Structure 1
Amino acid sequence: MAYVEASVRRRQLVAAARVALARDGVPGTSLRAVAAEAGVSLGTMQYVFPSKELLLRAVIEDVVDEIAEVLRGSADLGMGLEHAVRRALAGFWAELVVGRADVQVMQYELTTYALRAAGQESLARWQYERYCAVVAEWCQRAAQEAGETCAVPFGRLARVIVASLDGLILQYVCDPNDARAREDLDATVDMIVSLAAVRRSAR
């Protein structure tokens, strides 16, 4: 078998894991199944990811990176936090929710799996810490680059954003009504902007 650089192999296995998880669910996905999906031996799989927990962490990080990429490309941060929030949440919804129910269900399953599996509770906590950290950092950058202040700490703003999107997404995957979802997302964004109560920084 031809040599494959470790970083390339890791990305290949994470991509295969996302396919397997979306298709078979978290409980039904084993290291062996991911190895088969990637077309590699189980030994190769276990060399890169010795445990399922490590693989799931890598999948979560990959999802977080995808979210961060959407946020980075969605808005001109120099135009302020309100502009960034409105553009980013619309972009997030269009790119990562509509037509991506399998990805969203996979993320919920990762959370519930970790909460139910003995000794894996920290994985669920870490998953949401990563989601919120990415959103908080992005919101802070948007405010700072525009010379603005936010009425609440960025960590709290991020937790509210993540919690709000979680609820909207769960409703949408259960009943994918696009018109209703668009209206609800707009209302949610208005509430988030009101919570942030953005002001220009004192010079």
Structure 2
Amino acid sequence: MPYVEASVRHRQLVAAARTVLARDGVGRTSLRAVATEGGVPLGTMQYVFPSKELLLRAVIEDVIEETAEVFRGAADLDGGLEHAIRRGVEDVWVRLVEGHSGLQVMQYELTHHALRTAGMESLARWQYERYTAVIADWCQQAAQRAGETCAVPFAQLARLVVSNLDGLIMQYVCDPNPARSRQDLEAVTEMLVGLSGVPRDTDVVAR
């Protein structure tokens, strides 16, 4: 078997694990199944990840960072806070939710697993801290560039963006209804923009 650098092999097996987890769930995922999916001997799999818990930790970290990167690139920061919220929520929904139910189910399952596994609880907390920090950063940047003031702390606004998206995603996964989800997403976006307290585009036009 040709030599593969450790970092490359690590990424290869995490990607294989994500495929198996999305297909079979946490309970039915084994090191052997991941090794088969990744096209490597079980011994190689166990050398890189000696236990299933270490593998799941690596997958959780990978999913969190990937999602955070989507959040980071979602918002257009040059149109003010309202535009950033609308663009960010829309882009996240398109890139992570619509047509990606398997990813969302896997992510929820991994979060619950982390909460219930001794020594991994901090990963669940870090997940939400990470997402909130990224969203708070782009909200603050957008407001500053436009010379706007947010009516609530940016960290609070970001937490509410995350929590509202979480709820809508769970409903979408449990009962897929794209039209209804879009209506609810628009309503949530309006609430978040209203909470921010910045002048809306329609207000500017009216004046």
Shorter-chain TM-score bucket reads: 0.7 to 0.9
Counterpart residue number, 1:16: 16
The superposition leaves residues 130-188 of structure 1 with CA deviations (integer Å, 9 ceiling, x where unpaired) of: 22222223323333333333222222222111111111011111111111100000000
2:101 — aligned with what? Answer: 101
| Matching residue of 1:161 | 161
Q: What letter matches 1:55 in structure 2?
A: L
Whether contact under 8 Å (1:31, 1:46) holds in the other structure is: yes
- Match of 2:78, SS state, is helix
Query: Which structure has the larger Rg over C-alpha atoms?
Result: 2
Number of the residue aligned with 1:171: 171
Measured at CA, do residues 116 and 5 of structure 1 come closer, stay the same or move farther in structure 2, by a change above 3 Å?
same
1:77: Cα distance to partner?
A: 0.9
Give the Cα–Cα distance (whole angstroms) in 1 for the partners of residues 51 and 130 of structure 2. 20
Give the distance between the partners of 1:97 and 1:184, measured in 2 at CA: 14
Q: Secondary structure at the match of 1:77?
A: coil
Q: Report SS of the residue matched to 1:148.
A: coil
Q: Distance in 1 between matches of 2:53 and 2:141?
A: 32
Q: Which 10-residue stretch deviates more, 125-134 or 77-86?
A: 125-134
2:56 corresponds to which residue? 56
Aligned to 1:47: 47
AA aligned to 2:180 is: R
Once the two structures are overlaid, the 10-residue window that deviates more, 185-194 or 139-148, is 139-148
| Cα drift, residue 57 of structure 1 | 3.2
Following the alignment from structure 1 to structure 2, what is the Cα–Cα distance between the partners of residues 175 and 86? 24
Q: Could you tell me which residue of structure 1 aligns to residue 116 of structure 2?
A: 116
Q: Is the 8 A contact 1:151 1:197 kept in 2?
A: yes
Q: Quick check: 1:189 aligned with 2:189?
A: yes
Matches of 2:2 and 2:181, distance apart in 1: 48
Whether the aligned pair in 1 keeps the contact of 2:74 and 2:87 (CA below 8 Å) is yes
Displacement, 1:12?
1.2
Pick which of 182-191 and 85-94 moved more: 85-94
Give the deviation of 1:86 after TM superposition: 0.5
CA separation in 2, counterparts of 1:182 and 1:4? Answer: 45
Q: How many residue pairs are counted as aligned between the two chains?
A: 199
Deviations for 1:68-109, whole angstroms, at most 9, x for unmatched residues?
A: 343344442121221111012111111211111110001111
Alignment-derived partner of residue 205 in structure 2: none
Equivalent residues of 1:114, 1:124 under 8 A apart = yes
Report the aligned-residue RMSD.
2.1
**TM superposition shift of 1:119:** 4.0
Match of residue 204 from structure 2: none
Segments of 5+ residues of structure 2 without an aligned counterpart are: 200-207
Which consecutive unaligned segments of at least 5 residues does structure 1 have? Answer: none
Secondary structure of residue in 2 paired with 1:184? helix
Query: Structure 2-normalised TM-score?
Result: 0.85
Partner of 1:5: 5
- Of residues 62-71 and 151-160 in structure 1, the stretch that sits farther from structure 2 once superposed is 62-71
